[in-house]
Amino acid sequence: MIAVCPDGDYVKTVVQDTGIGISKEDLPRIFDKFARVKSEKTRWIVGTGLGLFIAKGIVEAHLGSISVESEEGKGTSVTVLLSQKMG
């Protein structure tokens, strides 16, 4: 699910899935460079661990914020807030 809506002076974008989720232990480091969640359920997923690190850099360069909520076995929700004000 993807939703975009105004939120005060910001535009809020939420991307939500019903996938395998992320454990509470792994959540604090998911924005770290080369961070990969390693488990039986993720070992077949190919990647470098740079996606969320790069996304956070882009969002913060535009003076926004990015956050993640997740529960193992239930899915993940990524929220991005970007200012509506230009300049």
CATH number, position 74 = 3.30.565.10
pTM: 0.86
The reported pLDDT for the residue numbered 75 is: 96
Q: How many structural domains compose the chain?
A: 1
Q: How far apart are CA 2 and CA 15, in angstroms?
A: 5
Q: Are 13 and 82 in contact (CB under 8 A)?
A: yes
Q: How many CA atoms are closer than 13 Å to the CA of 40, on its beta-carbon side?
A: 2
Q: Compute the mean pLDDT over every residue in the chain, rounded to the nearest whole number.
A: 91
Q: How confident is the model at residue 87 (pLDDT cuts 50, 70, 90)?
A: low
- At residue 43, the pLDDT reads 66
Q: For 23-58, how does the pLDDT look when each residue is reduced to its tens digit (9 = 90+)? A: 999 999 999 999 877 767 666 777 788 999 999 999
Query: Which residue segment(s) compose the domain that 47 sits in?
Result: 2-83
Report percent pLDDT > 70 for the chain: 93
